A and B are shown apart, each in its own frame.
Chain A
Amino acid sequence: MQFQKLRDFISNKFFVIPEASSSPERYKALRRNITILMLFVTIIPLALMATINYYQYKNSLQSEVINPLRILTNKTKLSFELFLEERISTLKFITSAYSYEELNDENIINDILIVLKKEFDGFIDIGLIDDKGIQISYAGPYSLEEKDYSNQPWFHKVILDGDHISNVFLGYRKFPHVAIAVQSYSDDSCCWMLRATIDTKKYNELIAAMQLEPLSDAFLVNNEGILQTRSRLFGNELEPCPIEIPVGGGETNIIEATDNEGNEIFIAYSHFVDTDYTLVVVKPSSLILKTWFTFRTEIFFIFVGSVLIIMIIVFKLTDIQVNRIRQAEEKHELAFRELEHSQKLSSIGRLAAGVAHEINNPLAIINQKAGLLQDILTSGSGSSNSERLLKVTQSIVQSVDRCSVITHRLLGFARRMDVEYEELDINEVINDVFGFLDQLALHRNIKIERKLDDSLPKISSDRGQLQQVFLNILSNAYAAVDEGGSVCVESYPKGEENICIAIKDDGKGMSKEEMSRIFEPFFTTKIGYGTGLGLPITYGIVNKLGGKISVDSEEGIGSTFTICLPLKSKSIKIENNE
């Protein structure tokens, strides 16, 4: 049902061209509709394909490029956590293996530090802190015995959680380091803790092990947004990090952001579980999606190129198709109208021939009767009355002659339907046609000028067809001029093979646009009463007779139609050859 409606809508919208609209607009609408449809059916699938391709490629590229980044970030975070876990476990082992008293022994604690430094990377010093927060025993490069840590936040955190890993800090030592502490209890349930510091060299080593590209960056940042390791892009340790990392979530996430310089970047981050560190890896999008951008540009240009080619082909094809349709329709219509026209002329011709023939008989009787009267009068005595009667009969005979010329002309015109080639004097044909239009010229006071070259050779052509040609052009000329205007007909030779006839009027003339279309079927300037067929038929006849017709016109000045005819028409030549 829906499909039916859609089909009806498309066919009504695109293929039903209103017949009432004038010809050029009809073809313009047809051209527009076919173009839209063809573009629609070709560009939509192309655009769909390009879009699907675009997103599929983007997705696959993202999974190929972004997943490794996620894995690398996760792996490095685990390495960090393992490193810290290992240090905490070592301290826990020492608190289990040694008693408070043993650790309070300077020699023992020094031995332990020596072993730690030897077996584990990064340990700088180690100290024993009592339940009051006083460092009662210390092994390391500084003199930190008796230092009171009771006011330090980490001290209370250790009491609460049992262990602690600090953020990176400078402390008394003025170089970045991290403190780790674990809590233990004596046999008398007295609480004490073992605290060690480790330098951040290992942190940098772990980040270096990620083997990032030169434009990428990786660093640790704490929950307050303070850098814990040096960042290539955002500064040194303990400086605030300018990018904001979302809080929460244990898994590795990747977000897209823009750096200070406006470049698009991918940020992979992963929060540590036991400490408030977050590992951040920054990669410029351009680096990750370089191939993606190339692909995007390529697909864009291929799409635009294809669309352009499709459009050119569609426009060209539509133009050819519509022109063909128009030509075929015009040809068909012209043939139909020509047939109709010739049938009409043929019936008029037959009627005229019948009338003319029937009139000839009574004319012959009048002629003979008048002749007899003349004979009687001339044979009798010459009275003044008989002389007068003789004049009257002469006048009757002259009128009969005139009638006879008219009937001959009518019959001659009626015969024009039968194509017949004969030797003819073109000036005579022109004069015959003027005979038909004399009365019209007289009534409208049109001045007729004939510059006919009497020395023109006879031509082989069809009298009837030529009569129609001149009748059409002269009728148009008469219609174009105002009352009192003038029409000039000139015949002259052109080379040795042709003769030309120029029909010039001083009427309203035509614009260039009108001039270029006057030989098109159904184009008329006589809106309301012109058929638009006179000149196309004329053009067809002149062509058929092997001649050429041209027009020259200027608006407000007048028009000149020039017909050039060969001395021997083509068809005659063919017959002769045969």
Chain B
Amino acid sequence: MNKLKVLIVDDEQDLVSTLGERLEMRGIQTQVCTDGICALDIMKKNPPNVVVLDVIMPGMGGLEVLDVMNSMNIKIPVVLLTGYGSKKKGEEGIKKGAYDYLMKPMDIDELISVMKEAINSNDPQENGN
């Protein structure tokens, strides 16, 4: 299996950089960005295996990013990050095609396992392509 490639999208620069660094330390290749447009750009140019996407961001939020991905037919599995109060938004995201959602502050091991599950669930499709 190739090295896992993850795109982390959150408006908190500190969070994405720290999370990225920690994932790198676990042998996961990470790309980070702090807004939806940049995320979509990366997805087009250098598609990751999985996207970790914050739901609430200034400008284009996570749900809008999912909409654009759907309209552009980008089939990359997405794990959403939400606050506890935004549980509904997480569920809404699943309807829009996200694999699952995690509530902040999340545990890194839990995040990695959910990411892997997301990639696995997406594999047959990729194989089909």
| Residues in A neighbouring B86, C-beta threshold 8 A | 357
In the complex, B124 has a CB within 8 A of chain A: no
What is the bound-complex CA distance between A415 and B85, given in angstroms?
Answer: 8
Near B by CB (< 8 A), chain A positions 355-369 give 356-357, 360-361, 363-369
Stretch of A31-39, A165-173, A282-290, A403-411 lying at the B interface: A403-411
B19 to chain A: closest CB distance in Å? 5
What is the bound-complex CA distance between A407 and B83, given in angstroms?
Answer: 10
Stretch of B31-39, B70-78, B100-108 lying at the A interface: B100-108
| Residues in B neighbouring A415, C-beta threshold 8 A | 85
Contact mask for chain B residues 43-85; partner A; CB cutoff 8 A; 1 contact, 0 none: 0000000000000100000000000000000000000010111
Decide if B18 touches A408 in the complex (CB within 8 Å): no
| Residues in B neighbouring A404, C-beta threshold 8 A | 105
Known: A360-B104, A363-B104, A400-B105. A368 touches B85 (CB 8 A): no
| Residues in A neighbouring B96, C-beta threshold 8 A | none
- Name which residue of chain A comes closest to B15, CB basis: A365
Decide if B22 touches A371 in the complex (CB within 8 Å): yes
Decide if A364 touches B15 in the complex (CB within 8 Å): yes
Decide if A364 touches B84 in the complex (CB within 8 Å): no
A104 to chain B: closest CB distance in Å? 153
- Partner pick for B19 among A368, A411, A412, CB 8 A cutoff: A368
In the complex, A414 has a CB within 8 A of chain B: yes
In the complex, B41 has a CB within 8 A of chain A: no
| Residues in B neighbouring A408, C-beta threshold 8 A | 84, 103
Chain A: interface secondary structure? Answer: helix
B86 to chain A: closest CB distance in Å? 7
| Residues in A neighbouring B25, C-beta threshold 8 A | 372, 375, 379
Decide if B12 touches A361 in the complex (CB within 8 Å): yes
Near A by CB (< 8 A), chain B positions 103-128 give 103-106, 108
B9 to chain A: closest CB distance in Å? 14
A389 to chain B: closest CB distance in Å? 16
What is the bound-complex CA distance between A50 and B70, given in angstroms?
Answer: 94
Known: A361-B12, A361-B15. A368 touches B84 (CB 8 A): no
Decide if B83 touches A368 in the complex (CB within 8 Å): no
In the complex, A499 has a CB within 8 A of chain B: no
| Size of A's binding interface in residues, CB under 8 A | 24
A448 to chain B: closest CB distance in Å? 27
Decide if A367 touches B21 in the complex (CB within 8 Å): no
Decide if B105 touches A360 in the complex (CB within 8 Å): yes
Chain B: interface secondary structure? Answer: helix
In the complex, A353 has a CB within 8 A of chain B: yes
A288 to chain B: closest CB distance in Å? 98
Decide if B84 touches A363 in the complex (CB within 8 Å): no
B121 to chain A: closest CB distance in Å? 25
B104 to chain A: closest CB distance in Å? 4
A302 to chain B: closest CB distance in Å? 76
| Residues in A neighbouring B21, C-beta threshold 8 A | 372
Q: Which of B12, B18, B103, B106: most chain A Cβ within 10 A?
A: B18
- Name which residue of chain A comes closest to B109, CB basis: A371
- Partner pick for A360 among B14, B18, B84, B108, CB 8 A cutoff: B84
What is the bound-complex CA distance between A372 and B23, given in angstroms?
Answer: 9
What is the bound-complex CA distance between A220 and B84, given in angstroms?
Answer: 121
Decide if B105 touches A367 in the complex (CB within 8 Å): yes
Decide if A357 touches B83 in the complex (CB within 8 Å): yes
| Residues in A neighbouring B18, C-beta threshold 8 A | 365, 368-369, 371-372
Decide if A356 touches B22 in the complex (CB within 8 Å): no
A405 to chain B: closest CB distance in Å? 10
What is the bound-complex CA distance between A375 and B24, given in angstroms?
Answer: 11
| Residues in A neighbouring B85, C-beta threshold 8 A | 353, 356-357, 411, 414-415
- Partner pick for B12 among A353, A364, A371, A375, CB 8 A cutoff: A364
| Residues in B neighbouring A366, C-beta threshold 8 A | 105
Decide if B104 touches A361 in the complex (CB within 8 Å): yes
- Name which residue of chain A comes closest to B11, CB basis: A361
| Residues in B neighbouring A371, C-beta threshold 8 A | 18, 22, 108
Decide if B22 touches A407 in the complex (CB within 8 Å): no
- Name which residue of chain B comes closest to A358, CB basis: B83
B52 to chain A: closest CB distance in Å? 12
- Name which residue of chain B comes closest to A404, CB basis: B105
What is the bound-complex CA distance between A368 and B108, given in angstroms?
Answer: 8
A294 to chain B: closest CB distance in Å? 87
A32 to chain B: closest CB distance in Å? 55
Decide if B83 touches A360 in the complex (CB within 8 Å): yes
What is the bound-complex CA distance between A366 and B25, given in angstroms?
Answer: 18
| Residues in A neighbouring B103, C-beta threshold 8 A | 360, 408
Known pairs A356-B83, A408-B103. 11 more at Cβ < 8 A?
A357-B86, A360-B103, A360-B105, A364-B12, A364-B15, A364-B81, A364-B106, A366-B105, A367-B106, A371-B108, A372-B18
Closest 4 CB pairs of A and B: A367-B105, A364-B105, A368-B18, A364-B104
Q: Jot down 23 A-B pairs with beta carbons below 8 A, ordered by A.
A: A353-B85, A356-B85, A357-B56, A357-B85, A360-B105, A361-B83, A361-B104, A364-B15, A364-B104, A364-B106, A365-B18, A368-B18, A371-B22, A371-B108, A372-B21, A375-B22, A375-B25, A379-B25, A404-B105, A411-B84, A412-B84, A414-B85, A415-B85
